[in-house]
């Protein structure tokens, strides 16, 4: 193993614990995998490193698919795919879309944080044109109802333009509020 692999990586010392966290944990592990140059090692090292970092739960998983002719326990990509199948519950598209449609901007939440969350949720909805759905959800559910009304008068507005206008409106609102404090 290379010296870089032996070095600890902050943030990955915590092992994986909950199935809903798997996609995020796997993404962090992929970054770790590249940073430590683990990707330059052979498949057996990759698989064992993955299992070690996932923790005790992972020790049992390969035994469930060892008999699968397509899966070799030293093939990192195939093992990772099997882990995905094991940890990621089947997506309930109707429920994900309900969550998306009920997601409104919370009081005090920035437009940027709201839009980021909308993009996170919409990825599970399996919509054909996610930008169109993001645009509509943003327009109909932002806290600034006056801006919402104005945006609805723009039939060809793009998601980018709607986000820009919402963020600009938020900035101007904060600036005007700050000006009022200075004058008081």
Q: Provide the pLDDT confidence category of residue 107 given band limits of 50, 70 and 90.
A: very high
Task: Among 87, 115, 133, give the residue marking a domain's end.
Answer: 87
Last residue of a domain, which of 38, 66, 87?
Answer: 87
In a domain, 162, yes or no: yes
CA 182 and chain centroid, separation: 40
Distances in Å between the Cα of 183 and the Cα atoms of 171, 178, 179 are 19, 9, 6
Q: Is the pLDDT of residue 104 over 90?
A: yes
The per-residue pLDDT for 10 is 42
pLDDT band at residue 102, thresholds of 50, 70 and 90?
very high
Q: CA separation (Å) from 27 to 30, 31, 162, 182?
A: 5, 6, 30, 45
User: In terms of residue numbers, what domain contains 155?
Assistant: 93-166
Using CA atoms, how far apart are residues 138 and 117, in angstroms rounded to an integer?
11
Least confident of 68-82, 87-101, 129-143: 68-82
Name every residue whose Cβ is closer than 8 Å to that of residue 145 and which is 6 or more positions away in sequence.
none
Residue 105: CATH number of its domain: 1.10.1200
- Whether 75 is covered by a domain: the verdict is yes
| Together in a domain, 71 and 104 | no
Same domain for 74 and 97, yes or no, is no
> What distance in Å separates the CA atoms of residue 61 and residue 76, rounded to the nearest whole number?
14
Cβ contacts of residue 79 below 8 Å, gap of 6+?
A: 47, 50, 62, 71, 73
Residues 143 and 110 in one domain: yes
* Overall number of domains in the chain: 2
Which tokens belong to 140?
Answer: 């109909």
132 shares a domain with 74 = no
Mean pLDDT, range 161-174, rounded to an integer: 95
| The overall pTM is greater than 0.85 | no
Residue 13 and residue 56 in one domain: yes
Phi, psi torsion values for 19, nearest 5 degrees:
-50, -40
Q: What is the rounded CA–CA span in Å between residue 176 and residue 148?
A: 19
């Amino acid at each position: 193993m290379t010296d870089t692999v032996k070095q600890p990586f902050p943030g990955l010392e915590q092992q994986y614990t909950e199935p809903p966290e798997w996609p995020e944990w796997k993404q962090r592990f992929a970054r770790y995998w590249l940073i430590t140059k683990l990707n330059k090692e052979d498949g057996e090292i990759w698989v064992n490193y993955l299992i070690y970092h996932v923790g005790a739960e992972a020790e049992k998983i390969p035994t469930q698919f060892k008999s699968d002719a397509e899966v070799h326990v030293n093939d990192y990509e195939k093992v990772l795919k099997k882990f995905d199948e094991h940890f990621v519950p089947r997506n309930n598209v109707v429920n994900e879309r309900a969550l998306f449609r009920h997601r409104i901007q919370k009081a005090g939440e920035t437009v940027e944080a709201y839009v980021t969350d909308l993009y996170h949720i919409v990825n599970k909805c399996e919509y054909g044109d996610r930008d169109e759905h993001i645009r509509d959800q943003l327009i109909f559910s932002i806290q600034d109802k006056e801006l919402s009304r104005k945006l609805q008068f723009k039939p060809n507005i793009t998601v980018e333009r709607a986000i820009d206008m919402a963020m600009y409106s938020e900035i101007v609102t904060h600036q005007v509020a700050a000006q009022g404090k200075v004058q008081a």
